[in-house]
Structure 1
Amino acid sequence: MYEIIKWPRDMAPSRSPIHFTNELEVAASPAAIWSLLTDPAAWPRFYPGVKHVQLLDGHTTLGLGTRFETNLAGQDVLASVQEFEPMTRIAWGGYPKVSEVSKAYHAWIITPTANGCHLWTEETMQGPHWIELAKQAPDIFWLTHEKLLKDLAAAALTREHARDYLSP
């Protein structure tokens, strides 16, 4: 069984009208997955719709408490890293700039397996902005995360292959 997300109380699935999970067995190592999730410059290569990530407050890498701006789900979002356990889990929470009352919390859990890792992502969303988007396309968030997992897995395999190729 996989470790449970450490939800902030107000963003727990039982308190959120939008909640979904996605998971995938990945042939890449946890280190390859982790290196991509914590490298904001790499996000546009695998994260659907992301064109930029700007770290705030002088940060140069993601870590616990790092604030950042990006464009997730077609929305300009302000978020911060709220869980950070190297090689194992990372989560960020935030809101679209057009509606601070519409919040989202997105968590990732990476579990080593014999052939790579099991990648689990789970998200909760609240507020009128996200609810309206979900009404327009009920499966859009889940489908986007399915693509995200596949693209992340492919990017991780490419990154590992490049490192193997460059190794002496």
Structure 2
Amino acid sequence: MYEAIKWPQEMAPSRSPIHFTNELEVAASPETIWKLLTDPAAWPSFYPGVQQVQLLDGHTRFGAGTRFETNLAGQDVYASVQEFEPMTRIAWGGYPKIAEHSRAYHAWIITPTAAGCHLWTEETMQGPHWIELAKKAPDIFWLTHEKLLEDLAEVAVTRERSRA
């Protein structure tokens, strides 16, 4: 299985009105998945709706504490990397620019398998902005993450095949 997400207490699933998980077996190495997740230039190739990621503070790749801006779930957001264990786990927390009191925490766990790796992603969301969006389309966040996993897997598998 996997180690539990290291939720900030205030973003724990038991305290969040929106909580969902997605998972997928991927025929690509944890290293390839990790390189894609930590490379902001790669995000537009697999992250639904992301056209660019701007790392702040002069960083070129994601690392512990990296602050960034992007568009996630159709929202311009500020976020920072909260968990960072190379090849294993990464998580970021942030908020939409138009609704600072609405928060989200998105974590990834990568587990090696005989055929590649198992990806687990989990997110909690709080605040009126996210709740209103969820009321309009109850499955939108979960469905977006399903597509995210499928697209990430496709890009990773294609990348590994092109190197072979």
Q: Same fold judged by TM-score > 0.5?
A: yes
**What secondary structure sits across from 1:149 in the alignment?**
helix
Which residue does 1:62 correspond to in 2? Answer: 62
Cα distance per residue 1:114-161 (max 9 Å; x no partner): 000000000000000000000000000000000000000000011111
Which residue does 2:36 correspond to in 1? Answer: 36
Which residue does 2:88 correspond to in 1? Answer: 88
Distance 1:84 1:161 in 2: 27
**Stretches of structure 1 lacking an aligned partner (at least 5 in a row):** none
Cα distance per residue 1:6-50 (max 9 Å; x no partner): 000000000000000000010111011101000110100100000
2:142 partner letter? W
Distance 1:146 1:90 in 2: 18
Distance 2:57 2:118 in 1: 33
In the TM superposition, 1:4-153 aligns within 5 A as: 4-153=4-153
Number of equivalences: 164
1:139 partner letter? D
1:162 pairs with 2:151: no
1:18 partner letter? I
Considering only aligned residues, what root-mean-square deviation do their CA atoms show, in Å?
0.5
Cα distance per residue 1:69-120 (max 9 Å; x no partner): 0000000000000000000000000000000000000000000000000000
Distance 1:25 1:44 in 2: 21
Task: Calculate the TM-score normalised by the size of structure 2.
Answer: 0.99
Distance 2:137 2:144 in 1: 11
Distance 2:5 2:30 in 1: 18
1:118 partner letter? H
